[in-house]
Amino acid sequence: MNHRTLLREGRQSLRKRLLTTLLVPLTGLLIFNSLITYFGALIYANHVHDESLLNDTLTLVQMMATESPDGGVSPQAQFLLEYEPGGHNYFSVFSAKRGFIAGNPVLQPPGKLFPDGDDSDQPRLYDVQIEKRALRAASLVMTNTRDPSDQLLVTVAETLRDRHQEARQILFLSIPAQTLLLLVAFVLVWLGVRKGLRQLDPLTMQIASREHDLAPIGDENVPAEILPLTRTIDGLFGRLRGMLALHERFIADAAHQLRTPLAGLSVHAERAQASSDPETIRDALNHIERLIQRANRTSSQLLALTRAQTTEHEAGDTEPLNLATVIPELVGQRVHEALAADVDLGYEGPSGPLWIDGDRHRLQELLDNLIDNGLRYAGRGSMITVSLAQEGNEICLAVEDNGPGVPPAWLERLGERFFRVPGAEEAGSGLGLAIVQRIAEWHDGRARYMTGNEGGLRVEIVFPIMQKP
């Protein structure tokens, strides 16, 4: 199924999302750039018009000094000063002695008309408002050539219309170019995204070509942005390989362990069918019952071993457990069974709490296998002691019996699957201590096997201690 078919089904498109994610900022960038262009053009237009306004003021001052010594302005000059195609410009002339002389009497700078000590030969610029119109004005104080003791204030002002119009013209001229640049950038981005996504095609084909291959994809020829995804897939493949390996091992173990009891069942069933002797039939049925019990125990232990070999921890699998409370409770559940087997089962431990982060059900299975091992191999009249002790930052759970024990040469192999000490008379599957060891490892602990103080077997499970929650 290709990407076009997926799009028709309403699937989200990574290409569309990338382009949308890029188009929105690019559009915003165009608007922002247009604003910058407009205000930049307005600043430039203000600068040009301010220069022109200063020149007009100086020209008017020179004209009045040479052509109108009395401070008046000719009608022709007045028309030129006030003319504006789309509005109206203003000028005014004030005398320090006579007051208003010509132009618009409202047009005057803020503050004093003739500030003290103002002998500058350059006009000063300021903003003013007349008839609800915003104006830009320039004023200059000159000496009245007809009366040297008198001063004239000459002011020229213009509306801001031309300035904004020029800024808009610059903006309208730049928008097509910016829009074209944006479209070209968008096309380049689209082509880049399309080409970039094509780099995923070999990886897609590589994964699609697999049938039952769960080997890691690896990091070779994988883009850096995709590495987290491929490594997550590799992690998933690894967990699947582990699960499949557990299933295959369970099938192999089940076939290995159940072959003998099933064969025995077949033999004794044939014996019972072929014989008419009640004793022979009863003996065959007794053998069948024992073989069924053995098969049930073996299948239960195989399932327990499979669960114990699962090393992954999920949320909620563990909880704070006080072994000083949990272990005596679990031991107490086996006392009646021990009494029936004529075995003295006891517990020794501290009164204070000993906390671990663990799973109560797995701990019960671990302790049950250790006690079962003692009940099976220590024999009647023996003693089994379960003890707890703190060793630095660790907690040691020990189960010791005073039975015949295990020769030192075989102690290191006690945690192996299906291993049974040569010469052992009691029947067993060889899975009990393997389950114990796997459960200990699941709790980040370890199992130790040694000879007890009275010659029997001592098994120690060491857990990392947990501070009180």
| pLDDT profile of the chain (469 residues), mean per 10 | 47 69 80 87 88 84 67 56 58 83 81 67 84 85 78 85 86 84 80 72 70 70 70 76 66 60 74 82 79 68 63 65 92 88 91 89 87 85 92 92 86 76 60 83 89 89 83
Q: Which two tokens stand for residue 333?
A: 């559940």
For the chain, give every domain's residue range.
Answer: 13-111+120-198, 224-308, 319-464
How much is the pLDDT for 297? 65
What lies within 8 Å, CB to CB, of 331 at 6+ separation is: 345, 347, 367, 371, 386
CATH for 224-308 (1.10.287.130, 3.40.50.300, 2.40.30.10, 3.40.140.10): 1.10.287.130
How much is the pLDDT for 1? 46
* pTM beyond 0.85, yes or no: no
What lies within 8 Å, CB to CB, of 235 at 6+ separation is: none
Give the chain's length.
469
How much is the pLDDT for 459? 92
How much is the pLDDT for 302? 64
Contact 399, 367 (CB under 8 A): yes
Cα–Cα dist 260/243, whole Å? 27
Cα–Cα dist 197/3, whole Å? 11
Question: Quick one: how far is CA 465 from the chain centroid?
Answer: 31
How much is the pLDDT for 387? 93
How much is the pLDDT for 388? 93
How much is the pLDDT for 463? 93
Helices (H) and strands (E) in the chain, counts: 11, 12
Q: Which residues pair with 355 in a beta bridge?
A: 322
**CATH fold label, 319-464:** Heat Shock Protein 90 (3.30.565)
How much is the pLDDT for 8? 47
How much is the pLDDT for 309? 61
How much is the pLDDT for 158? 86
Cα–Cα dist 322/348, whole Å? 15
Q: Which two tokens stand for residue 179?
A: 């829009």
